[in-house]
Amino acid sequence: MRRKPVLPSRSLGQPALADLADAPATSRWVRSGALRLHVLDYGGDGVPLLVLPGITSPAITMDFVARGLTGQVRPVVLDVRGRGLSDGGDGDAYDLQAYARDAEAVIVGLGLDRPLLLGHSMGARIAAVTAVRGVAPVAGVVAVDPPLSGPGRDPYPTSLAAFLGQLEQALRGTDADEVARSWPRWPRREQELRARWLASCGERAIADTHRGFESEDFFDWWPRVPSPVELLYGEQSPVVTPEGVKELTASHPAARMTPVPDAGHMVFWDNPPAALNLLREALTRVAGRAGSAPGSSDD
């Protein structure tokens, strides 16, 4: 009987590390308990923006988003635990509370004064929980296409088996052409980064987070996210459906909802120009409302 080869739990080759040299950002490190977390800090004098990526998106895969925001804000992109260069292992927790503690550790560790939070997918859920916890004060939240799945709700549309199949493919060795077969609309550079960096994501981190999509209800947190808050979603997203938009609006009337045309769940990758323009506008509104809010640094 042919034995299935044992794959490494996480892998990152020299070509992937070399991608960091092309990013106009500085690698910084923060401790969250026993974990060492890696962030990409794009610098600048703008309001700090902590960027929280999705379930299989190391920080470098958000480089094109961060680049599009420099000059407006100071993007700081987190390698979420168990991904990229951040620590993670079998003994670590991968629930929303643990992720929020990491976000708080970055805010405090880097001295980010009332940052804005930007989260995509899993990262949007983390941003919501971080804002509600209030351990580290934030100025506002922009959530992008958060999973609305949870107990008693429709399951997350991408199965765990599909995620783990992609991970196994990456650990065995993949390239941009193979990635393009699954994500044909993505810019070529983003396909290349996906091919080189997906293997840095831990299987346990993916599996536990995916189970959290079913067991942790986003709507336990969403109505309590303090304003200002905005939510962007893909007009064709299978994650934030028209019914989901209605529930989001009803449960948090103060939140502004903005569809991104010609985009699915991978909003920025599916339609970069429109998504980035709408994101810039949302950040301008959130920052402006935060600046005039009682208790802000401008008072």
pLDDT digits (tens, 9 = 90+) for 111-140: 999 999 999 999 999 999 999 999 999 999
In this structure, what is the dihedral angle of CA atoms 40, 42, 43, 48, given to the nearest 10 degrees?
-80
In the predicted structure, residue 298 carries a pLDDT above the cut 70: no
User: Cβ distance 172 to 197 under 8 Å?
Assistant: no
State how far the Cα of 100 lies from the Cα of 216, in Å rounded to an integer: 13
Q: Average pLDDT for residues 45-53, to the nearest whole number? A: 97
Amino acid at 131: A
pLDDT at 90: 79
User: Cβ distance 217 to 244 under 8 Å?
Assistant: no
pLDDT tens digits along 168-217: 999 999 999 999 999 999 999 999 999 999 999 999 999 999 999 999 99
3-state SS assignment for residue 30: strand
Amino acid at 132: V
Band of pLDDT at residue 235, cut at 50, 70 and 90: very high
Q: Average pLDDT for residues 245-255, to the nearest whole number? A: 98
pLDDT at 91: 82
| Half-sphere exposure (Cβ direction) of 211: Cα atoms closer than 13 Å | 8
Domain 14-291 has CATH 3.40.50.1820: yes
State how far the Cα of 175 lies from the Cα of 182, in Å rounded to an integer: 12
Scanning 68-121, the segments in alpha helix (DSSP H) are: 96-109
Burial 227-265 (b: 16+ CB within 10 A, else e): bbbbbbbbbebebbeeebbebbeeebeebbebbbeebbb
DSSP string, 119-164: EETHHHHHHHHHHHH-SS--SEEEEES-----TTSPPPSS-HHHHH
3-state SS assignment for residue 255: coil
For residue 164, what are its two tokens?
Answer: 């783990």
Q: Average pLDDT for residues 43-57, to the nearest whole number? A: 97
State how far the Cα of 57 lies from the Cα of 51, in Å rounded to an integer: 11
Band of pLDDT at residue 7, cut at 50, 70 and 90: low
What does the domain layout of the chain look like in residue ranges?
Answer: 14-291
pLDDT at 291: 78
